[in-house]
Amino acid sequence: MPSPTEFEAFQRLLAQSKHIIAVAGAGLSAASGIPTFRGDGGMWRKYDAMALATPEAFASYPSLVWQFYHYRREAALKAQPNAAHYALGMLSVPEIRQKIAPESTFTLITQNVDNLSPRANEKIFAAYEATPPVDPPHLIEMHGRLFDLRCSRKKCKHTEFNTSSPVCEALAGTEVLIENQEMDADIPREQLPRCGKCRCLARPGVVWFGEIPHHLPLINNLIAEADLCLVIGTSSTVYPAAGYAAEVKDNGGKVAVFNLESTDPDEDADFLFVGPCEELLPKALGLDVMHLLG
């Protein structure tokens, strides 16, 4: 656990900062029970989970890829935002932020697609009767959303938000196959999720490897202006997000890292808080989130 002196020094920096960003990765949602599919836990059934997150995998094996994302959707639907989600959500409320970082702006740039940050924010903005900021935005989901259904037909590309469980009847129950070690179900294409507009095959609305993340021009502008970057629950291995903290640092800004374990890129941080981010982040920000949990 970092010392009280470290927390106090960070809070003094926070109070002086005017353009604050946070870059969040899978570690932010780990305490909510969301699998990271990285490192030793990077396998789903007998498959490399990262190999399934490609346009090529979907084109060749749409049934298998949809089972993987159905499994992830079901896990996310059962999960609840944790204290770190709520701390970032409270930092997004101008009336709260002005007490700890006067006259500042804040944007969370998340690589997560699990909808937990939006759910936390919705609860917080309702509780405080606040309006979500739009300039700059309080949240950017750069890798898309797990609950978006996007048409796979290039001429259509219709996208709609869908939290149905299951997303289609043919996928119902396939999430338990991993527990029973059964054979993968080979679901016909016509029974997989369909576009709500043209009825062609739909795909998960996430950014796959080899695709361009969302809102990059806006993110680049925020990075250029930022004087404080919070790095939360990310191993800084997936670009372009992996380079954002270094860009802020190169521009003269400060970097604070909140990670369960220290990684090589963390050594250049001005502040390094090693431990569960759901414990360290609220304490570092000086925010009480206990009334929001449960």
Q: pLDDT tens across 176-222, in order?
A: 876 666 767 789 999 999 999 999 999 999 999 999 999 999 999 99
pLDDT for residue 75 is more than 80: yes
How large is the average pLDDT for residues 7-21? 98
What is the pLDDT at residue 122? Answer: 97
pLDDT digits (tens, 9 = 90+) for 219-248: 999 999 999 999 999 876 677 877 999 999
In angstroms, the CA 172 to CA 162 distance is: 15
85 catalytic? Reply is no
What is the pLDDT at residue 217? Answer: 98
What is the pLDDT at residue 16? Answer: 98
What is the pLDDT at residue 42? Answer: 53
- Which of 24, 21, 10 lies closest to 233, judged by CA? 24
HEC readout, 166-196: CCCHHHCCHHHHHHHCCCCCCCCHHHCCECC
Judging by DSSP bridges, how do beta strands 159-161 and 139-141 pair with one another?
unpaired
Identify the active-site residue in 70, 143, 215, 291.
Answer: 143
What is the pLDDT at residue 139? Answer: 98
DSSP per residue over 223-284, as a string? HHH-SEEEEES--S-STTGGGHHHHHHHTT-EEEEEESS--GGGGG-SEEEES-HHHHHHHH
Which residues have a Cβ under 8 Å from the Cβ of 102 and sit 6 or more positions away? 15
In angstroms, the CA 48 to CA 269 distance is: 32
Classify residue 130 by its DSSP letter: -
